[in-house]
A and B are shown apart, each in its own frame.
Chain A
Amino acid sequence: MILKKEKLGSLLDMLAGTATVLVPTAFNAEGGSEGGEKATGFLPYQAGSAVDLGTVKTTRSPKDALLPQTETLYSYEQRGEDVTLTETVNNTNQILFGVRSCDAYSIACLDEVFLTRTFVDTLYYERRLGTLIVGLGCTATERSCFCTSFELDPAVAPGVDIQLTDAGDGYFAEALTTKGTEALDAWKPFLTEGTKPTPAELEFTFKLDTAKLGEQLKTMFEDPYWQDLSMKCLGCGTCAFVCPSCYCFDMSQNNKGSEGYRFRTWDSCTFVDYSMMAGFHNPRPTKMKRLRNRFMHKLCFYQERYGNSLCCGCGRCIELCPVGIDISRVIEDVERVVAHD
């Protein structure tokens, strides 16, 4: 069934009535300081907000909707001797509208981490249940996109409920899950008959061979390559915070007198105090060890545990790294370094 583009606004208005609809929107109205550079994210849809489905990839990934940067775990209050704990219950009802394949793949990775292997993160689970993901096939690529290097199909987003494919004046919507089919019924009044168009042929600036990447990385653990690479790294958290699949978090509390709450917040393995332990012991004290660990986890350790790479090839970190450390160049360098010694 086809959703005509001019009907998109009214569909979103309808959906916004039933749930919080998160759509790619520019959030810095004044644009960046460097001229027209826009920063975009999945913001709640209101009538008249600048929806921008054309963005190839948003600056802030849809991960925000499932693993918010800061999330209260529980709150506590002390009266005299006894302490009362109150759990946080968030009944999420949201629709992630316009998720690209790379982001959908990342969400699948997050699902692996938070929902499988015996421990289920209840907060994440509640959010994930309450989230309908509407994928959107890519019609254009950016210079830093290289999702095909990880065998991703820009037209079909893995694990989404409804997949939209651009069909010129509308989007062809098809439900891929039961949840998707139910949701699609509600869209009926806005849909018209139509056949699924063949997805546009996209050309990427580069494609990498990541087949044997995991093993190759293991062999170059002690290579001086990492030393020079990490010299450039500033140790900031930009790559981890813009990455759709990074999920590490730190926990802390905020207390006010005898009451307060404990929360978790994103952490980045490149931060100095990421692995700082009591007594100032730090297993990864130098920038080299931290940066190496980042790439090893992305491209090797995660694969050992879950079978697929944690990098979805979206290229956000390539665009936004202050010093231009480029994961795709690292992957290429692995070939050169491994071949060399």
Chain B
Amino acid sequence: MSRIGVFLCHCGTNIAATVDMTRLAEATKELPGVVYVEENKYMCSEPGQQAVKQSIIDRGIDRIVIASCSPRMHELTFRKMLTDTSVNPYMLEIANIREQCSWVHKDKEAGTKKAIDLVRMAVAKVDRNAPLFTSEIPITKRALVIGGGIAGIQAALDIADAGFPVTLVEKEPSIGGKMVMLDKTFPTMDCSACICAPKMNDVGAHPNIEIMSLSEVEEVTGYVGNFTVTIRQKAKYIDYDLCTGCGLCEQKCPSKVTSEYERGLAKRKAVYKPFAQAVPSKPIIDAKNCRKFTEDRCGVCEKLCTVNAIRFDDEDKLVTLEYGAVIIATGYELIDWTSLYGEYGAGAYPDVIDGLTFERIINASGPTEGHIVRPSDGKEPKTVVMIKCVGSRDPHKGKAYCSRACCMYGAKHAHQFLDKIADGECYVFYMDVRAMGKGYDEFYMNTLQDGATYIRGRVAKIYPEGDKYICIGEDTISSKIVTVSADLVVLDTAMEPQESADAIGRLFGVSRDLDGWLTEAHPKLRPVETNTAGVYLAGTAQGPKDIPDCVAQASAAAAKVIGMFCLKALESNPMISVVDEINCRGCGDCVDVCPYKAIAMETVERRENSVWVTRDIAVINSGLCQGCGACTASCKSSALDLLGFTNEQILQEVDALCL
């Protein structure tokens, strides 16, 4: 008979407030197999855990039920607690009587009755638990970082500095992401190049980092410590081993194309480096616009190239490598405000631009060498209007969330504008100024002192008048209608996830929230981890944030990876499927449904009824199996069962619920 100890947590008053603990304790004492019931203010606290350990010794308990908060919160804590007791960490069940009972049912009578049911279910299940033991999984000590923005760069550098090889995959021709496009960064007003460029060069020169530019992850199999990742390296049409990056081909290339990097403000060639300080600092050929491909003419670059590094016959290459850990840093994109805000001209007015375009204009290495000019006529604008929260905090037309960084880069733009344009006027329409970082509010105060006029209200409409733009808004503080005729309008638009993040999330089993941001395991407990072991998040892929947070999160994710690589081996998940050989008829249905290809059919020799018989049975690779249980539901004769969630345990739980 099992000797079950049940520990009821008050969780302060979180549970005790709407669940009658004494009545719950009385009812629990009646349950078959229960030999000891104890109530405690905080089970997860040190005294709480100590009480459990002590009662295991005093009363010879061999199974534990803890009625407390969600197992997703402290199942790991209580399992760790059991490692130094005589009870196997998996002889434990948790009844969730907080998030799914006391917090959601005001009526104490109904709440108590439900709590009793939940505890009875947990006791019935733990009665059928069996001790489980972990086994060791080897770790491939190489990391994969997806996304070459500042977050990816920082993470790659930290891991490489710790001595582990890293592959940095970037979809664009060069790493650098959005940060490298910026002019200055708040709050210190360092120029972005002074921070980003050196890091990019470190990455470029680092012996442990291999950059795969113009590449995307295509296929992933395996699990933590042993991911097998196939990466598609798109054709660059240039042999990087020979190319010296001299740029001769770029000069002579006849076809001009609008540069995505310069956000349409300038042109680039068909063979191009996106920007001067690009890393890898070698050009690629844009097949869609290169006349050799489109009209089979030209080929100037091939003729001129001194080291003949041009390869028109280049093709995509598929590289498959083993990785122990993955950091997803796919970054963000600004929303396409033109399709959302017709009242701001829907993109028809050339001088109504978004923040990144303004960054290119103000950037010294930008198309205008840092002179603030209007994209339409190149004249210097005297009056600029900046509109905040365009698409953010706007659940009806755009995104419901706040994009966090725009208040600060808005203030930065105002400061830079007033700095560069002598008698410039800068009007900033805002809803709330969110400057909550270190030195942020002081930065905002300086901008006010520079003479920026902050008007609390949204701009309702912009329409051109002559070469000016009339912005009509309402100042909600003085509740007066305000019209400003501006030469230039900068919209601080909302951030949204990179379009490729959805596919990356699907490949690694990382779910996305309603807005498409990759979901972290737990906002406070495990902010940089995901629910897929061995896959971590860094930067704006996880949600809008500014550069300081991105870098901090990147180093945190890198620390997690380095932490894992320092282990000799990983502990495997013991809650995996097992095959009852006698009962397996070898039909192979389970092989079709296993997402991890963890089941294989094997021909075996068995002695049955005193006759040697050869037959096929299913065999499970305990390393690959992640314990999802899909095979158990496809096996008609229940030859496959999932440890920790066996058929018997589940049926016992259902029976207990219905008593």
Q: Please, how many residues of chain A have a CB less than 8 angstroms from a CB on the other chain?
A: 9
B659 close to A257 (CB less than 8 A): yes
In chain A, positions 273-300 with a C-beta closer than 8 Å to chain B are 280, 282, 285-286
Chain A residue nearest to B120 (CB atoms) is A257
Q: List the B side residues contacting A69 at CB < 8 Å.
A: none
- Any chain A CB within 8 A of the CB of B245? no
- Any chain B CB within 8 A of the CB of A336? no
A256 close to B609 (CB less than 8 A): no
Q: List the B side residues contacting A280 at CB < 8 Å.
A: 582
A256 close to B32 (CB less than 8 A): no
- Any chain A CB within 8 A of the CB of B442? no
A257 close to B32 (CB less than 8 A): yes
- Any chain B CB within 8 A of the CB of A78? yes
The CA of A239 and the CA of B609, in the complex, are separated in Å by: 25
A286 close to B609 (CB less than 8 A): yes
- Any chain B CB within 8 A of the CB of A90? no
The CA of A282 and the CA of B656, in the complex, are separated in Å by: 34
Q: List the A side residues contacting B30 at CB < 8 Å.
A: 80
Which one of B582, B609, B655 contacts A285 once the chains associate, using CB atoms below 8 Å? B609
- Any chain B CB within 8 A of the CB of A178? no
- Any chain B CB within 8 A of the CB of A198? no
- Any chain B CB within 8 A of the CB of A252? no
Within the complex, the shortest CB–CB distance from A52 to chain B, in Å, comes to 40
The CA of A282 and the CA of B30, in the complex, are separated in Å by: 40
Which one of A78, A256, A282 contacts B659 once the chains associate, using CB atoms below 8 Å? A256
Q: List the A side residues contacting B608 at CB < 8 Å.
A: 285
- Any chain B CB within 8 A of the CB of A33? no
Q: List the B side residues contacting A282 at CB < 8 Å.
A: 609
A78 close to B609 (CB less than 8 A): no
Q: List the B side residues contacting A286 at CB < 8 Å.
A: 609
Chain A residue nearest to B610 (CB atoms) is A285
Q: List the A side residues contacting B655 at CB < 8 Å.
A: 256-257
The CA of A284 and the CA of B656, in the complex, are separated in Å by: 38
The CA of A167 and the CA of B434, in the complex, are separated in Å by: 107
Q: List the A side residues contacting B659 at CB < 8 Å.
A: 256-257
The CA of A280 and the CA of B659, in the complex, are separated in Å by: 33
The CA of A285 and the CA of B582, in the complex, are separated in Å by: 14
Within the complex, the shortest CB–CB distance from B462 to chain A, in Å, comes to 72
- Any chain B CB within 8 A of the CB of A118? no
The CA of A280 and the CA of B609, in the complex, are separated in Å by: 11
The CA of A257 and the CA of B655, in the complex, are separated in Å by: 8
Mostly, the A contact residues are: loop
Q: List the A side residues contacting B656 at CB < 8 Å.
A: 257
B582 close to A78 (CB less than 8 A): no
Q: List the A side residues contacting B582 at CB < 8 Å.
A: 280
0/1 interface trace, chain B 575-619, chain A, CB 8 Å (1 if under): 000000010000000000000000000000000110000000000
- Any chain B CB within 8 A of the CB of A205? no
The CA of A203 and the CA of B157, in the complex, are separated in Å by: 101
Within the complex, the shortest CB–CB distance from A21 to chain B, in Å, comes to 39
In chain B, positions 46-103 with a C-beta closer than 8 Å to chain A are none
The CA of A286 and the CA of B613, in the complex, are separated in Å by: 14
In chain B, positions 606-641 with a C-beta closer than 8 Å to chain A are 608-609
The CA of A7 and the CA of B655, in the complex, are separated in Å by: 53
Within the complex, the shortest CB–CB distance from A277 to chain B, in Å, comes to 14
- Any chain B CB within 8 A of the CB of A258? yes
The CA of A80 and the CA of B30, in the complex, are separated in Å by: 7
A258 close to B32 (CB less than 8 A): yes
Within the complex, the shortest CB–CB distance from A139 to chain B, in Å, comes to 49
The CA of A257 and the CA of B6, in the complex, are separated in Å by: 18
Which of A78, A80, A257, A258 has the largest number of chain B CB atoms within 10 A?
Answer: A257
Chain B residue nearest to A282 (CB atoms) is B609
The CA of A280 and the CA of B583, in the complex, are separated in Å by: 11
The CA of A204 and the CA of B659, in the complex, are separated in Å by: 58
Within the complex, the shortest CB–CB distance from A252 to chain B, in Å, comes to 16
Chain A residue nearest to B29 (CB atoms) is A80
Within the complex, the shortest CB–CB distance from B290 to chain A, in Å, comes to 72
0/1 interface trace, chain B 18-41, chain A, CB 8 Å (1 if under): 000000000000101000000000
Q: List the A side residues contacting B609 at CB < 8 Å.
A: 282, 285-286
The CA of A280 and the CA of B656, in the complex, are separated in Å by: 29
Q: List the B side residues contacting A78 at CB < 8 Å.
A: 32
The CA of A282 and the CA of B608, in the complex, are separated in Å by: 11
The CA of A286 and the CA of B30, in the complex, are separated in Å by: 47
The CA of A256 and the CA of B658, in the complex, are separated in Å by: 9
In chain A, positions 236-293 with a C-beta closer than 8 Å to chain B are 256-258, 280, 282, 285-286
0/1 interface trace, chain B 642-655, chain A, CB 8 Å (1 if under): 00000000000001
The CA of A78 and the CA of B659, in the complex, are separated in Å by: 14
Chain B residue nearest to A78 (CB atoms) is B32
Within the complex, the shortest CB–CB distance from B33 to chain A, in Å, comes to 10
The CA of A280 and the CA of B582, in the complex, are separated in Å by: 9
Within the complex, the shortest CB–CB distance from A279 to chain B, in Å, comes to 11
Within the complex, the shortest CB–CB distance from A327 to chain B, in Å, comes to 26
Chain B residue nearest to A257 (CB atoms) is B659
The CA of A80 and the CA of B31, in the complex, are separated in Å by: 9
Q: List the A side residues contacting B32 at CB < 8 Å.
A: 78, 257-258
Q: List the B side residues contacting A285 at CB < 8 Å.
A: 608-609
Within the complex, the shortest CB–CB distance from A161 to chain B, in Å, comes to 46
The CA of A4 and the CA of B655, in the complex, are separated in Å by: 56
Within the complex, the shortest CB–CB distance from B36 to chain A, in Å, comes to 15
The CA of A256 and the CA of B32, in the complex, are separated in Å by: 12
The CA of A258 and the CA of B30, in the complex, are separated in Å by: 10
The CA of A80 and the CA of B33, in the complex, are separated in Å by: 10
The CA of A285 and the CA of B608, in the complex, are separated in Å by: 9
Chain B residue nearest to A255 (CB atoms) is B655
The CA of A319 and the CA of B464, in the complex, are separated in Å by: 96
Within the complex, the shortest CB–CB distance from B2 to chain A, in Å, comes to 15
Chain B residue nearest to A286 (CB atoms) is B609
The CA of A257 and the CA of B656, in the complex, are separated in Å by: 7
Within the complex, the shortest CB–CB distance from A323 to chain B, in Å, comes to 22
Within the complex, the shortest CB–CB distance from A88 to chain B, in Å, comes to 23
The CA of A270 and the CA of B519, in the complex, are separated in Å by: 57
0/1 interface trace, chain A 114-140, chain B, CB 8 Å (1 if under): 000000000000000000000000000
Chain B residue nearest to A280 (CB atoms) is B582
Q: List the B side residues contacting A257 at CB < 8 Å.
A: 32, 655-656, 659
Q: List the B side residues contacting A80 at CB < 8 Å.
A: 30
The CA of A280 and the CA of B606, in the complex, are separated in Å by: 14
0/1 interface trace, chain B 133-171, chain A, CB 8 Å (1 if under): 000000000000000000000000000000000000000
Within the complex, the shortest CB–CB distance from B657 to chain A, in Å, comes to 11
Chain B residue nearest to A79 (CB atoms) is B30
Within the complex, the shortest CB–CB distance from A271 to chain B, in Å, comes to 16
The CA of A35 and the CA of B659, in the complex, are separated in Å by: 45
The CA of A282 and the CA of B582, in the complex, are separated in Å by: 13
Within the complex, the shortest CB–CB distance from A168 to chain B, in Å, comes to 58
0/1 interface trace, chain B 445-471, chain A, CB 8 Å (1 if under): 000000000000000000000000000
Within the complex, the shortest CB–CB distance from B121 to chain A, in Å, comes to 12
In chain B, positions 533-587 with a C-beta closer than 8 Å to chain A are 582
Within the complex, the shortest CB–CB distance from A83 to chain B, in Å, comes to 12
In chain A, positions 67-111 with a C-beta closer than 8 Å to chain B are 78, 80
Within the complex, the shortest CB–CB distance from B124 to chain A, in Å, comes to 9
Q: List the B side residues contacting A256 at CB < 8 Å.
A: 655, 659
The CA of A256 and the CA of B651, in the complex, are separated in Å by: 12
Within the complex, the shortest CB–CB distance from B127 to chain A, in Å, comes to 12
Chain B residue nearest to A256 (CB atoms) is B659
Within the complex, the shortest CB–CB distance from A243 to chain B, in Å, comes to 27
The CA of A80 and the CA of B582, in the complex, are separated in Å by: 38
Chain A residue nearest to B582 (CB atoms) is A280
The CA of A80 and the CA of B35, in the complex, are separated in Å by: 11
Within the complex, the shortest CB–CB distance from A229 to chain B, in Å, comes to 18
Lowest 5 CB-CB distances: which A-B pairs, in order?
A285-B609, A257-B659, A258-B32, A286-B609, A280-B582
Beyond A256-B659, A257-B656, A282-B609, 7 additional contacts (C-beta under 8 Å) are A80-B30, A257-B32, A257-B655, A258-B32, A280-B582, A285-B609, A286-B609
Sample of 14 A–B contacts (CB below 8 Å): A78-B32, A80-B30, A256-B655, A256-B659, A257-B32, A257-B655, A257-B656, A257-B659, A258-B32, A280-B582, A282-B609, A285-B608, A285-B609, A286-B609
